[in-house]
Structure 1
């Protein structure tokens, strides 16, 4: 009997290792599938000791309709170029060495699409240890800031690990699709995380650089259009730091949805917390929420009266990985 029991245990372990493994998500056990293999690796090196000296040609080399994960390793340096990943080039991993030493840098403003330093429209994209910046507003007085996008993210199933996003206005256009940001650093002053993405930001630093602008800035401008729209920005276990004053968000669309959960908010947050912008007559449809936050900026005693209080079920739905990861696409990435 002991042999039979040991044999059964052996078979169970073998099945788990062949098919995947069990992992922990919060307090729940979840199945994590074995990650996908990487087909090939491309090296970008400014010094010429790689396959390419710029990033865009390396991306162009990925075949249209690509079906295997391709890793593009970007060696340290500031790459002054606009980079675009078109919809026909999925399964790309863009990997730097460190977000402080591997930087894609642009200087353009005005049109939010054309100004973007980095744009990805393809599904199944990963970025690691790399920074995206738009320096346009750094060289202008803060009373003349313009829309200047550092990164435009419009593909579905996109993940960013240890990345940086630096700008002043409209830094990160979290445009559409399901996105995951882990241990990222996002900097700006006005609407610097905006769009209609369905996104989870976890253990990330949100850095406000609003000192000197006219009036308070805004961290988010979320664009949820209707009650059936699944988009929303969730900040989980994040840190809000910086200078000047900001609202946590303003409603870019009538059903705008943002949640700050278990996050540390500094005194940069204005007491009211949130702004309805053009939707003062219909604040009931806006879902701006805070739960279990701490820090000087977490005092909700003077928040707008229409801030939404979520129930336990709603909180679980929004803060679980399943908010963005139905189908476990995230765990199956390399």
Structure 2
């Protein structure tokens, strides 16, 4: 059902929801940008609609809500192991269409990839999603090319125009909650970006011969292996393990998993001193082909959702979309 209501009424709804849900949305963190005295847009808890940033793309994706950057898996003593308690509150996340599509990719990896990850599942089962529309494309987005610019998989759609909020509610729980507010029924259709300035075309003849191309050599010179592209990506899910031992008892501590990046030095290090993909161009090749080749072979759709955050974040101005555009000529090279 679609509705129009005043900002004040919507905030009453958020206040009521906050009794059961932790509410996360893109918001402006002042002075915390990558340069001094600059801001950054990333996900944080909100309590009213005025805190939500609707007009800018978040620099980081929502994934850190469901996949914490650092997550304790269990505590250990000399005699027992105990998993940490999970917050009883459910989770409500405001996100855009591309991120809604990325959620399906994360579910593939953590819930449908041979076994279920219980730590992810505990958070995922508690989560519901509010869709934010995109009236127009943001810089570096290519979601239309990736088919992720539209979605109907949301619990609520929300749009703010001045002092009015427009809702499309699909969830019975939220429908009953907003029934108690002063609202006006009307049809609400989500806004979706229908065109991007950036367009990519993944070659139909793309195959593993592409690894022989010289196109990857460029990135050995340009990439500095910082891993930013992975950390802002809504579909990158790799992590490493850390055991933390407490100072007062070296046999007591906790095991954590921490985000990792296939682009950084040491990611492929193995016992005995072996390491793979030492050249940064080889790492770029691995990332690109995982996003737009082998993942599709298994799941039937590409891993990349075209949000463009990797291009936004790269300090060396390396463009993932431009790399994909080069693959058609690269395939001609290796035939």
Q: Report TM bin, short chain.
A: under 0.3
TM-score normalised by length of structure 2: 0.23
Greater relative contact order (CA < 8 Å, ≥ 6 in sequence): 2
TM-score normalised by length of structure 1: 0.23
